[in-house]
Amino acid sequence: MDLNAVRTFVAAADAGQFQEAAAALSITQQAVSKRIATLEKDLDVRLFTRTARGAQLTIDGQAFLPHARELLRVAERADASVRPGRRALRVDVVARRIAPAGLLQDFHRMHPDTELDLVTLDADVTAAIAAVEAGTIDATFHAVPRHQHLPTAISTARVIDEPHQLLVGPHHPLANAHTVTPSQLAGHRIWMPGLPSRGEVADYYAELTTTFGFTIDALGPVFAKEALLDEIADSSDLATLIGEGSQYLWPDSYDLRRIPLRNPTPVYPMSLIWREDNPHPALITLRGYLDSRRAAVPDTGVWTPTWTQRTPPLPPSDRQ
């Protein structure tokens, strides 16, 4: 069905005259008549009857009008879903309680008119890059190892350096410590059920534990995060590692403690990954915002994995 003809039909129905519909659409009255005639032929019905007062809808025209309006609304939504600047910016935040999700929430507070579509892909960095390259998403957050293959169209910029914290219950031996060194974790049960066995996250924790001589227990069923917090709250030996920017809520009765890791501070490096040729205006704004929010991490007192890809900050011309 010709959407121009449908649009002309609606304009004529609203105006009640072909001449006024022609003026509203910036076309000739002859063009209006021709489009209406074509639509009537396609539908095999009369939509208007000519009267001295103008054009009056027939019974079939009245029946078709609400559907014609819906057709135009659907067409508008379809157009907006793919047109840069009109559709929402689709960003993979990996998980909804970690640092990228928090940063996107802050970004939205500062730019409330920017429409965002936040998703959580179950993917490692390679699969996430493929999704960006394919256009499934506009951007994603992942650690990017030096050896990671990057297609020509893909760009990255390191935007998050997230320190780690130890999360323990009130009965844990380290519960009253102000800070803990990574080496002090040796001999303690660090429980992270569901920790990936491969990919950049697995590589990060493998190097972290090897460097500082502790182990991570990844066994056990993976329930909701609340179940893990409940176990830790009642335990005198369980602990877990979380990012400084992770947002978890628990009852006051749990009395959980978030203890910073220091000397050195393990930092998980995350980069924004996007297609350089993506024209969505909100992507440029987001990149500038993330670069302005990135805190400078000193070279001393910080531990990052040896495979970290150090990408430069966004150039000033890309910031808003």
pLDDT at 299: 57
Crossing angle (nearest 10°) for helices 3-15 and 29-43? 110
Prediction pTM value: 0.71
DSSP-assigned beta bridge partners for residue 240: 167
pLDDT at 302: 92
Give the mean pLDDT per block of 10 residues along the chain (320 residues).
Answer: 91 90 90 93 92 86 92 80 73 93 94 92 93 94 92 94 95 96 96 90 95 94 85 95 92 95 94 93 93 70 82 47
Dihedrals φ, ψ of 129, to 5°? -60, -40
How confident is the model at residue 297, as a pLDDT?
57
